[in-house]
A and B are shown apart, each in its own frame.
Chain A
Amino acid sequence: MAAVGTWSFSRPAVERMRCMLLDGQNATDVVETAMAEVEDDVDTGRHIVGRGGFPNFKGVVECDAAIMEGEPGRFGAVAALKGIAQPCRVARKVMDRSPHSLLVGEGAESFAQEQGFISEPNNNMLSDHSATAYQEFLEKNKRVKDGHDTLGVSTSGAPFKSPGRVGDSPLPGCGLYADHTVGAAAATGDGDKIMCYCPSFHVVQLMRQGLSPNEACHAVLADIQRRISGDKCFEIGLISLNMKGEVGAASSVAFPYTFWKQGMDLVKELVINQPK
C-alpha cells in the first residue's frame, strides 16, 4: 500500500489516505474522499483546487477533475464544471453511472444535479483570497502565468483562464494515468502545455517496459525538454508509483511532494529540484 500527492499541501490528504488504507478501505473510496476534502476546503483553494480556487477571466470558478482506477477502462472526468465544490465526486459518478468518460460544462452540471449534487452560487465557490486576487486581476488586466497546481487530478485550472478552458488534469494520460499491471502517474504544472505530451501515459508506458518510477519520470521530462530544445521548459512536475510501492518524481521547477508507504509511520515530504 502506498500513497503520494503533489505539492506540500497534499500532506493532510495523504495522511487521510494512509489512515483509510490501513483501515482496509477501497482505494477508489480513499482517493475520492481525500480529494473531496481538499476540494471543499476553502483554505486550500489558494493552491488552485475546488472551493476557493481561482476563477476564469469572467470571475467564474470552473473546475476540472478526474478519477481513474488501475483496472483499465475505469475512468471518469469532468471539465469546466461550475458550482460544485467537490468535482472529483462528480467525476466518480461519470465513471460509475455513465458509459461516457468525460462530461464538460453545462452538460456536466446537469448530470451532477441529476446525481443529487447541489449547484452553489459562484460566490460560495470564491474565497476572500481568490475574490481579492480576481479584483486585482481586473485592475491590472493581465493573466497570471505561474502557480498551476493540482492535487492528484483536481484543479480550478489556470487563474483567470478563458471560460471553458480545459487543462491537462481531467484528461487520461495527461493529468493522470493508472494501469493495475504497472502503476500510476500524475502530472502538475502548466496544463496547456502538458497536455500536448501525454506525460502520465508515457511514464506508465516506460514503467511497463521495466523502468523504475524515478527513471520513467526523468526520462519523460528529458524527452519533453529535448522537444522544446533551447526554450526554457514550462512548469511540469511528475509523480509516479509502481505496484511495489516505489515512488518517483521529476520536475522542471522546485517540486515538493508527500509520500507514504506501508511500513512507514509517518507521511514524508520530499522536495526535488530545489534551487541551489
Chain B
Amino acid sequence: MIKICLIICLLPLSKAALPLVINTWRFEDATSEAWSTLQKGGSFVDAVERGCGLCEMEQCDGSVGFGDHPDEQGETTLDAMIMNGDTMEVGAVGDLRRIKNAVSVARAVMENTDHTFLVGESASIFAENMGFKSEDLSTNKSITIFSQWLQNNCQPNYRKNVFPDPSKFCGPYKPKTMLRRPKHKKRDIDPRAHDTIGMIVIDKNGKVAAATSTNGASHKIPGRVGDSPVAGAGAYADSIAGGAAATGDGDVMMRFLPSFLAVELMRSGAEPSIACKTAISRIKKYYPTFFGAVICANTTGGYGAACNKIPELSQFSFMVFNSQTNQPRLEKVDCF
C-alpha cells in the first residue's frame, strides 16, 4: 500500500512583516515615500533618507524643515541624522543653517567624509561644497512668529539664572549669581514645539536604517542642538537587533540615550513595546512631566511604541507600512 504523507510546514509569520517602515507622528506622506523608494529598488538607507527628506520639504507639522521654529535670533536651523545598521556608520548635522535637505547633508557627512557629525555654519559650508543649495530658511510664517515673540517680551524662552528676569523680559542676558546647587526645575515648554520625524526602515533582508530630522525647539538659544542628530539618542540602528527613534523634549531625552537603550534591550530579546517602555521609564523616573515618545522595531518586523503620559499627550500616533498593511497605517499607543 502506498501511503501519502503530507507534511505541513508552518513558516514563521513574522518574516512576512518585512519590509517595514515605521515613523513618529502622523506623517503619512513620509511613510509612503519611504515605502515607494523600497518598491522602486532603492536601498534601506535611500528609503529612510527620502522619507525624512519629504517631511523637510513638506515642513511636517511645522517641526521639520524650513520656515518655522525660529531661534532667539529669528533663524531656523536644522538637526538631522542617518544611520546604517549594517555598517554602523552614522552621518549627522546640528545647527545647520541655510540648507533645506538636512538629512541628505547628514548622509553626505556619512558617505563623503570620515567624520560623523558636523555643526553650524561650517556644516552649511560643507553642504554647499557638496552641491546643496544655500537659501534662506525663513518664511513669512517664521518671521511673523519671531516678531510676535519679540513683541510678547520674548516669552517663552529657555533662559534661567540670568538678569533681566527672563520670565518677563527679552535679552541680552547676563548671568546672575546663583545658589550653590541650582534647583533643577524643568520649565514646561509647549509640547507642540517638539515633533521630530524619526523613521526606521527594515528591508526584506532585515537590514535596518534609521534617520531623524527636525528644526528643533522654537525660540531655542542659537547653537542649541537637541537629541535628534545624536546617535543613540534621536535614533539608533543595528541590523543584528533592530532600530529605534525618539521624539519630544530633546534637551532632556538626549541625556538618557533612549534609542540605544531600546535597541540594546531588543538585542537581549525584549519585545519592541517593552524596549520602548523601558526607555521611557528610565527618563520618566527623573523627569516625570517630560514630553516624549519612542518607536521601536526588530529585525523580524515586530514593532512598538511608548510615550510618557502628561496632560498634553495621552496618546501617541505613529505610522506603519509593511507588506501586510499595503498602505500607510495610523497606529496609536496610550501613554503611561
Residues in A lying within 8 Å of B, measured CB to CB: 68, 71-75, 79-80, 93, 96-111, 114-116, 158, 161-167, 171-174, 177, 191-193, 195-198, 201-202, 205, 227-228
Contact = CB atoms under 8 A, between A and B. Distances in A.
Q: Secondary structure at chain A's binding surface: helix, strand, loop or mixed?
A: mixed
Given A99-B160, A162-B126, A106 B184 contact: no
Given A103-B221, A107-B221, A164 B126 contact: yes
B221 A72 contact: no
B174 A174 contact: no
Interface in B225-267: 225-226, 230-233, 236, 240, 250-252, 254-257, 260-261, 264
Given A162-B122, A165-B117, A198-B232, A99 B255 contact: no
Interface of B: 71, 83, 88-90, 94-95, 113-123, 125-126, 158-162, 171-175, 178, 182, 184, 186-187, 220-226, 230-233, 236, 240, 250-252, 254-257, 260-261, 264, 285-287
Contacts of B233: 172-173
Contacts of A101: 226, 250-252, 254-255
A60 B286 CA distance: 39
6 contacts: A73-B286, A105-B121, A106-B222, A110-B223, A164-B121, A196-B83
B115 A165 contact: yes
A189 to B, nearest CB: 13
Given A73-B184, A114-B174, A205 B264 contact: yes
A87 to B, nearest CB: 13
A107 B95 CA distance: 9
Most interface-central of A97, A99, A198 (chain B CB within 10 A): A99
A165 B226 CA distance: 16
Q: Which of A72, A102, A163 has the most CB of B within 10 A?
A: A102
A102 B224 contact: yes
B88 A111 contact: no
Contacts of B257: 172-173, 177, 198, 201
B231 A198 contact: yes
A167 B123 CA distance: 14
Contacts of B171: 114
Nearest to B265: A205
A223 B262 CA distance: 17
A174 B221 contact: no
Contacts of A163: 122, 125-126
Given A74-B184, A99-B158, A102-B254, A114 B175 contact: yes
Contacts of B174: 114, 116
Given A72-B256, A174-B232, A198-B231, A100 B158 contact: yes
A162 B230 CA distance: 18
Contact of B94 (A71, A104, A197): A104
B215 to A, nearest CB: 15
Contact of A108 (B117, B223, B256): B223
A97 B115 contact: no
B224 A72 contact: no
